[in-house]
Chains A and B, each alone.
Chain A
Amino acid sequence: MASNAAVPFWRTAGMTYITYSNICANLVRNCLKEPYKTEALSREKVHFSISKWTNGKPEKPTIRSDSSEE
Protein backbone atom coordinates (compact mmCIF):
# COMPACT_ATOMS: atom_id res chain seq x y z
CA MET A 1 0.00 0.00 0.00
CA ALA A 2 2.09 2.88 -1.24
CA SER A 3 1.22 6.07 0.55
CA ASN A 4 0.64 8.45 -2.31
CA ALA A 5 -1.86 10.39 -0.29
CA ALA A 6 -0.73 13.80 0.88
CA VAL A 7 0.95 13.60 4.24
CA PRO A 8 -0.62 16.09 6.66
CA PHE A 9 1.19 19.39 6.86
CA TRP A 10 2.50 18.87 10.34
CA ARG A 11 4.12 15.62 9.45
CA THR A 12 6.02 17.25 6.62
CA ALA A 13 7.03 20.03 9.00
CA GLY A 14 8.77 17.44 11.15
CA MET A 15 6.32 17.19 14.01
CA THR A 16 5.12 13.97 15.49
CA TYR A 17 1.51 13.32 16.26
CA ILE A 18 2.22 13.95 19.93
CA THR A 19 3.60 17.42 19.26
CA TYR A 20 0.61 18.16 17.07
CA SER A 21 -1.91 17.08 19.69
CA ASN A 22 -0.09 19.02 22.41
CA ILE A 23 -0.26 22.21 20.38
CA CYS A 24 -3.95 21.66 19.71
CA ALA A 25 -4.55 21.03 23.43
CA ASN A 26 -2.74 24.23 24.30
CA LEU A 27 -4.89 26.14 21.84
CA VAL A 28 -7.99 24.74 23.52
CA ARG A 29 -6.64 25.69 26.93
CA ASN A 30 -6.05 29.22 25.78
CA CYS A 31 -9.73 29.46 24.90
CA LEU A 32 -10.78 29.15 28.52
CA LYS A 33 -12.06 32.07 30.52
CA GLU A 34 -9.93 33.72 33.08
CA PRO A 35 -9.77 31.90 36.43
CA TYR A 36 -9.84 28.49 34.77
CA LYS A 37 -7.35 29.53 32.16
CA THR A 38 -4.53 30.29 34.59
CA GLU A 39 -5.32 27.15 36.54
CA ALA A 40 -5.17 25.00 33.45
CA LEU A 41 -2.00 26.59 32.16
CA SER A 42 -0.22 26.25 35.48
CA ARG A 43 -1.29 22.63 35.71
CA GLU A 44 0.39 21.73 32.50
CA LYS A 45 3.94 22.78 33.22
CA VAL A 46 6.73 20.57 31.94
CA HIS A 47 10.04 19.96 33.65
CA PHE A 48 12.57 17.21 33.26
CA SER A 49 16.25 16.81 32.65
CA ILE A 50 17.33 14.65 29.72
CA SER A 51 20.81 13.45 28.95
CA LYS A 52 21.79 11.57 25.82
CA TRP A 53 24.48 8.93 26.13
CA THR A 54 26.78 7.86 23.33
CA ASN A 55 29.20 4.97 23.67
CA GLY A 56 28.89 4.82 27.39
CA LYS A 57 29.59 8.49 27.89
CA PRO A 58 26.95 10.95 29.00
CA GLU A 59 26.65 14.29 27.37
CA LYS A 60 25.68 17.39 29.23
CA PRO A 61 22.10 17.06 30.44
CA THR A 62 19.67 19.59 29.08
CA ILE A 63 16.75 20.71 31.16
CA ARG A 64 13.47 20.82 29.33
CA SER A 65 11.60 23.29 31.40
CA ASP A 66 8.96 25.03 29.44
CA SER A 67 5.81 26.24 31.06
CA SER A 68 3.97 24.34 28.41
CA GLU A 69 4.44 23.34 24.82
CA GLU A 70 4.50 26.40 22.61
Chain B
Amino acid sequence: MLEYTDKIRGIARKLLEEGTVDVFIGYKKGSVPMMNEPLLINDPGKADLLYWDSHCGLNLCNYITKRTDRIGIVANGCNSRNIVTHIIENQIKREQLYIVGIPCTGMFDHRAVQRAVEGKEISEVREDGTTLTVMGNGFEKTLEKGDYLRSNCALCLHRNPVEQDEMIADKVEEQKGMDPFPEVGEIEKKSDQEKWEFFTELISPCIRCYACRNACPLCYCPTCFVDEAQPQWVGKSIDPTDTMTFHFLRAYHCAGRCTDCGACERVCPVDIPVRQFTSKLNKDAFEFFEWEAGIRSDQRPPLDVYKIDDYNDFIR
Protein backbone atom coordinates (compact mmCIF):
# COMPACT_ATOMS: atom_id res chain seq x y z
CA MET B 1 0.00 0.00 0.00
CA LEU B 2 3.10 2.20 0.09
CA GLU B 3 2.46 3.50 -3.42
CA TYR B 4 -0.62 5.30 -2.10
CA THR B 5 1.53 7.91 -0.38
CA ASP B 6 2.35 9.88 -3.50
CA LYS B 7 -1.23 9.86 -4.66
CA ILE B 8 -2.51 11.03 -1.28
CA ARG B 9 -0.03 13.90 -1.33
CA GLY B 10 -1.08 14.91 -4.81
CA ILE B 11 -4.78 14.84 -4.04
CA ALA B 12 -4.37 16.72 -0.75
CA ARG B 13 -2.26 19.39 -2.41
CA LYS B 14 -4.80 19.87 -5.16
CA LEU B 15 -7.78 19.98 -2.79
CA LEU B 16 -6.11 22.58 -0.59
CA GLU B 17 -4.81 24.64 -3.49
CA GLU B 18 -8.16 24.72 -5.20
CA GLY B 19 -9.93 25.49 -1.97
CA THR B 20 -12.17 22.43 -2.18
CA VAL B 21 -11.36 21.76 1.47
CA ASP B 22 -10.05 23.90 4.34
CA VAL B 23 -8.04 21.13 5.96
CA PHE B 24 -6.80 17.70 5.05
CA ILE B 25 -6.52 14.88 7.56
CA GLY B 26 -4.25 11.90 7.04
CA TYR B 27 -1.20 10.31 8.63
CA LYS B 28 2.42 11.25 8.80
CA LYS B 29 5.29 8.83 9.23
CA GLY B 30 5.90 8.21 12.89
CA SER B 31 9.07 8.73 14.90
CA VAL B 32 9.19 5.09 15.97
CA PRO B 33 8.83 1.97 13.78
CA MET B 34 5.32 0.65 13.01
CA MET B 35 3.65 3.83 14.15
CA ASN B 36 2.13 6.67 12.16
CA GLU B 37 0.76 9.86 13.58
CA PRO B 38 -2.57 11.42 12.61
CA LEU B 39 -1.89 14.73 10.89
CA LEU B 40 -3.95 17.76 9.90
CA ILE B 41 -2.64 20.18 7.31
CA ASN B 42 -4.17 23.35 5.93
CA ASP B 43 -1.21 24.41 3.83
CA PRO B 44 -0.72 22.67 0.46
CA GLY B 45 3.01 23.14 0.99
CA LYS B 46 2.85 20.58 3.77
CA ALA B 47 1.24 17.87 1.68
CA ASP B 48 4.53 16.00 1.47
CA LEU B 49 4.28 15.21 5.16
CA LEU B 50 1.38 12.88 4.40
CA TYR B 51 2.16 9.21 4.42
CA TRP B 52 0.52 5.84 4.10
CA ASP B 53 1.65 2.31 4.85
CA SER B 54 0.30 -0.68 6.72
CA HIS B 55 0.78 0.89 10.14
CA CYS B 56 -2.05 3.41 10.08
CA GLY B 57 -3.69 2.00 13.17
CA LEU B 58 -5.55 4.97 14.60
CA ASN B 59 -9.02 5.80 13.33
CA LEU B 60 -9.04 9.25 11.74
CA CYS B 61 -12.76 9.62 12.18
CA ASN B 62 -11.95 10.75 15.74
CA TYR B 63 -10.67 14.00 14.35
CA ILE B 64 -13.71 15.13 12.41
CA THR B 65 -16.27 15.04 15.21
CA LYS B 66 -18.31 18.25 15.24
CA ARG B 67 -15.86 20.13 13.05
CA THR B 68 -17.47 22.94 11.11
CA ASP B 69 -14.98 23.35 8.26
CA ARG B 70 -14.63 21.45 4.99
CA ILE B 71 -12.39 18.46 5.44
CA GLY B 72 -10.47 16.22 3.12
CA ILE B 73 -9.79 12.86 4.74
CA VAL B 74 -8.29 9.53 3.77
CA ALA B 75 -10.47 6.55 4.59
CA ASN B 76 -10.03 2.83 4.17
CA GLY B 77 -12.89 0.39 4.72
CA CYS B 78 -13.38 0.63 8.48
CA ASN B 79 -12.62 4.36 8.70
CA SER B 80 -15.19 5.06 5.98
CA ARG B 81 -17.74 3.05 7.95
CA ASN B 82 -17.04 5.17 11.01
CA ILE B 83 -17.49 8.26 8.88
CA VAL B 84 -20.90 6.95 7.77
CA THR B 85 -21.77 6.25 11.40
CA HIS B 86 -20.70 9.78 12.26
CA ILE B 87 -22.96 11.12 9.52
CA ILE B 88 -26.03 9.22 10.68
CA GLU B 89 -25.31 10.21 14.26
CA ASN B 90 -25.11 13.88 13.24
CA GLN B 91 -21.46 14.31 14.19
CA ILE B 92 -20.53 15.63 10.76
CA LYS B 93 -22.29 16.47 7.52
CA ARG B 94 -21.55 14.55 4.36
CA GLU B 95 -21.25 17.82 2.39
CA GLN B 96 -18.38 18.91 4.58
CA LEU B 97 -16.28 15.94 3.59
CA TYR B 98 -14.12 15.03 0.67
CA ILE B 99 -13.35 11.38 1.25
CA VAL B 100 -10.26 9.95 -0.40
CA GLY B 101 -11.03 6.24 -0.53
CA ILE B 102 -8.28 3.76 0.20
CA PRO B 103 -8.68 0.13 -0.80
CA CYS B 104 -7.04 -1.59 2.14
CA THR B 105 -5.22 -4.87 2.49
CA GLY B 106 -5.02 -4.66 6.25
CA MET B 107 -2.73 -3.30 8.90
CA PHE B 108 0.15 -5.06 10.59
CA ASP B 109 -0.29 -6.30 14.13
CA HIS B 110 2.71 -4.59 15.71
CA ARG B 111 2.56 -6.92 18.70
CA ALA B 112 2.69 -10.02 16.52
CA VAL B 113 5.61 -8.55 14.58
CA GLN B 114 7.36 -7.87 17.86
CA ARG B 115 6.75 -11.46 18.96
CA ALA B 116 8.12 -12.75 15.66
CA VAL B 117 11.52 -11.35 16.65
CA GLU B 118 11.24 -12.57 20.25
CA GLY B 119 10.59 -9.09 21.59
CA LYS B 120 13.98 -7.78 20.43
CA GLU B 121 14.08 -4.07 19.76
CA ILE B 122 13.10 -3.24 16.19
CA SER B 123 15.02 -0.30 14.81
CA GLU B 124 13.54 -0.23 11.34
CA VAL B 125 10.89 -1.90 9.22
CA ARG B 126 10.64 -1.91 5.45
CA GLU B 127 7.38 -2.69 3.73
CA ASP B 128 7.50 -4.12 0.26
CA GLY B 129 4.34 -5.34 -1.42
CA THR B 130 3.09 -8.09 0.81
CA THR B 131 6.13 -8.42 3.04
CA LEU B 132 7.64 -6.58 5.94
CA THR B 133 11.34 -6.75 6.62
CA VAL B 134 12.10 -6.16 10.27
CA MET B 135 15.56 -5.03 11.29
CA GLY B 136 17.37 -4.57 14.56
CA ASN B 137 20.71 -5.05 16.23
CA GLY B 138 22.08 -8.23 14.66
CA PHE B 139 18.89 -9.50 13.06
CA GLU B 140 16.80 -9.10 9.95
CA LYS B 141 13.64 -11.03 9.25
CA THR B 142 11.09 -10.89 6.47
CA LEU B 143 7.47 -11.56 7.32
CA GLU B 144 4.47 -12.25 5.10
CA LYS B 145 1.78 -9.68 5.69
CA GLY B 146 -0.99 -12.27 5.58
CA ASP B 147 0.45 -13.98 8.65
CA TYR B 148 0.82 -10.80 10.68
CA LEU B 149 -2.42 -8.92 10.14
CA ARG B 150 -4.23 -7.39 13.06
CA SER B 151 -6.97 -9.79 14.04
CA ASN B 152 -9.75 -7.39 13.04
CA CYS B 153 -8.10 -6.90 9.62
CA ALA B 154 -7.79 -10.65 9.13
CA LEU B 155 -11.55 -10.89 9.71
CA CYS B 156 -12.53 -7.76 7.78
CA LEU B 157 -15.35 -8.05 5.23
CA HIS B 158 -15.20 -4.45 3.97
CA ARG B 159 -11.70 -3.58 2.91
CA ASN B 160 -12.91 -1.09 0.33
CA PRO B 161 -14.39 2.18 1.47
CA VAL B 162 -18.19 2.23 1.52
CA GLU B 163 -18.32 5.96 0.88
CA GLN B 164 -15.85 8.08 -1.04
CA ASP B 165 -15.46 10.99 -3.43
CA GLU B 166 -12.41 9.63 -5.13
CA MET B 167 -10.61 6.29 -5.04
CA ILE B 168 -6.87 6.22 -4.77
CA ALA B 169 -6.62 2.89 -6.61
CA ASP B 170 -8.76 0.06 -7.92
CA LYS B 171 -10.81 -1.83 -5.41
CA VAL B 172 -9.15 -4.78 -3.72
CA GLU B 173 -10.80 -8.14 -3.54
CA GLU B 174 -12.93 -8.60 -0.44
CA GLN B 175 -12.23 -11.49 1.91
CA LYS B 176 -14.99 -14.06 1.88
CA GLY B 177 -16.01 -17.33 3.36
CA MET B 178 -14.55 -17.01 6.85
CA ASP B 179 -16.34 -16.90 10.17
CA PRO B 180 -15.99 -13.25 11.16
CA PHE B 181 -16.48 -14.01 14.86
CA PRO B 182 -14.33 -17.05 15.65
CA GLU B 183 -13.30 -15.86 19.10
CA VAL B 184 -16.84 -15.00 20.15
CA GLY B 185 -17.87 -18.52 19.26
CA GLU B 186 -15.24 -19.87 21.64
CA ILE B 187 -16.34 -17.64 24.49
CA GLU B 188 -20.02 -18.42 23.94
CA LYS B 189 -19.26 -22.08 24.60
CA LYS B 190 -18.09 -21.28 28.13
CA SER B 191 -20.28 -21.59 31.22
CA ASP B 192 -21.30 -18.39 33.02
CA GLN B 193 -18.65 -18.97 35.63
CA GLU B 194 -15.98 -19.59 33.00
CA LYS B 195 -17.03 -16.46 31.14
CA TRP B 196 -16.73 -14.43 34.30
CA GLU B 197 -13.27 -15.82 34.92
CA PHE B 198 -12.27 -15.23 31.32
CA PHE B 199 -13.23 -11.56 31.37
CA THR B 200 -11.83 -10.99 34.85
CA GLU B 201 -8.51 -12.36 33.70
CA LEU B 202 -8.70 -10.43 30.42
CA ILE B 203 -8.94 -7.03 32.10
CA SER B 204 -6.73 -7.74 35.11
CA PRO B 205 -3.80 -5.65 33.79
CA CYS B 206 -6.05 -2.67 32.90
CA ILE B 207 -4.77 0.64 34.23
CA ARG B 208 -7.93 2.59 33.38
CA CYS B 209 -6.04 4.93 31.07
CA TYR B 210 -9.08 5.05 28.77
CA ALA B 211 -6.97 4.94 25.62
CA CYS B 212 -9.35 2.29 24.27
CA ARG B 213 -12.30 4.59 24.84
CA ASN B 214 -10.61 7.70 23.51
CA ALA B 215 -9.25 6.00 20.42
CA CYS B 216 -12.78 5.06 19.42
CA PRO B 217 -14.63 7.48 17.17
CA LEU B 218 -17.91 6.30 18.71
CA CYS B 219 -16.92 7.75 22.08
CA TYR B 220 -17.73 11.40 21.57
CA CYS B 221 -20.10 12.03 24.50
CA PRO B 222 -19.37 15.43 26.05
CA THR B 223 -19.07 13.68 29.41
CA CYS B 224 -18.41 9.96 29.51
CA PHE B 225 -20.34 7.98 32.14
CA VAL B 226 -17.05 7.16 33.88
CA ASP B 227 -16.33 10.88 34.29
CA GLU B 228 -19.79 11.81 35.54
CA ALA B 229 -19.67 13.06 39.12
CA GLN B 230 -23.36 13.54 39.90
CA PRO B 231 -24.26 10.78 40.18
CA GLN B 232 -20.97 8.96 40.05
CA TRP B 233 -21.80 5.79 38.17
CA VAL B 234 -18.52 4.03 38.61
CA GLY B 235 -15.61 4.10 41.05
CA LYS B 236 -12.29 5.48 39.92
CA SER B 237 -9.88 3.11 41.54
CA ILE B 238 -8.59 -0.02 39.85
CA ASP B 239 -10.99 -2.17 41.81
CA PRO B 240 -11.87 -5.02 39.42
CA THR B 241 -15.62 -4.36 39.78
CA ASP B 242 -15.24 -0.78 38.59
CA THR B 243 -12.87 -1.72 35.81
CA MET B 244 -15.27 -4.41 34.64
CA THR B 245 -18.17 -1.95 34.78
CA PHE B 246 -16.23 0.43 32.59
CA HIS B 247 -15.46 -2.24 30.02
CA PHE B 248 -18.97 -3.70 29.85
CA LEU B 249 -20.63 -0.32 29.58
CA ARG B 250 -18.21 0.98 27.03
CA ALA B 251 -18.85 -2.09 24.91
CA TYR B 252 -22.62 -1.78 25.23
CA HIS B 253 -22.46 1.85 24.21
CA CYS B 254 -20.85 0.64 21.00
CA ALA B 255 -23.49 -2.00 20.26
CA GLY B 256 -24.65 -1.79 16.67
CA ARG B 257 -22.19 1.05 16.07
CA CYS B 258 -18.79 -0.62 16.22
CA THR B 259 -17.11 -1.10 12.86
CA ASP B 260 -14.40 -3.38 14.25
CA CYS B 261 -11.73 -0.93 13.16
CA GLY B 262 -9.49 -2.26 15.93
CA ALA B 263 -8.24 1.14 17.09
CA CYS B 264 -9.23 0.39 20.70
CA GLU B 265 -7.13 -2.74 20.67
CA ARG B 266 -4.21 -1.13 18.86
CA VAL B 267 -3.72 1.53 21.51
CA CYS B 268 -3.95 -0.38 24.78
CA PRO B 269 -0.64 0.14 26.58
CA VAL B 270 -0.95 -3.20 28.38
CA ASP B 271 -2.02 -5.24 25.36
CA ILE B 272 -5.58 -6.11 26.40
CA PRO B 273 -7.57 -7.45 23.42
CA VAL B 274 -10.59 -5.26 24.18
CA ARG B 275 -12.36 -6.26 20.97
CA GLN B 276 -13.34 -9.41 22.83
CA PHE B 277 -16.14 -7.29 24.29
CA THR B 278 -17.34 -5.49 21.18
CA SER B 279 -17.06 -8.49 18.85
CA LYS B 280 -19.87 -10.25 20.71
CA LEU B 281 -22.13 -7.24 20.23
CA ASN B 282 -21.20 -7.02 16.57
CA LYS B 283 -22.14 -10.65 16.20
CA ASP B 284 -25.46 -10.08 17.96
CA ALA B 285 -26.20 -7.04 15.80
CA PHE B 286 -25.54 -9.17 12.75
CA GLU B 287 -27.50 -12.21 13.87
CA PHE B 288 -30.50 -10.39 15.31
CA PHE B 289 -30.78 -7.51 12.86
CA GLU B 290 -28.56 -8.41 9.90
CA TRP B 291 -26.81 -5.19 10.73
CA GLU B 292 -23.22 -4.18 10.09
CA ALA B 293 -22.40 -0.70 11.33
CA GLY B 294 -21.57 2.06 8.92
CA ILE B 295 -22.52 0.32 5.69
CA ARG B 296 -25.66 2.28 4.88
CA SER B 297 -26.52 5.88 5.48
CA ASP B 298 -30.20 5.53 4.49
CA GLN B 299 -31.19 3.38 7.45
CA ARG B 300 -31.20 4.06 11.19
CA PRO B 301 -29.08 1.73 13.31
CA PRO B 302 -31.06 -1.06 15.01
CA LEU B 303 -30.74 0.33 18.50
CA ASP B 304 -32.20 3.71 17.68
CA VAL B 305 -35.37 2.72 15.82
CA TYR B 306 -38.73 1.43 16.88
CA LYS B 307 -41.29 0.18 14.43
CA ILE B 308 -44.77 -0.88 15.34
CA ASP B 309 -44.57 -3.64 12.76
CA ASP B 310 -41.07 -4.77 13.72
CA TYR B 311 -40.42 -8.29 12.51
CA ASN B 312 -38.92 -9.25 15.85
CA ASP B 313 -41.39 -10.53 18.42
CA PHE B 314 -39.41 -9.51 21.44
CA ILE B 315 -39.69 -5.82 20.75
CA ARG B 316 -43.41 -5.60 19.97
Q: Do A and B belong to a common assembly?
A: no
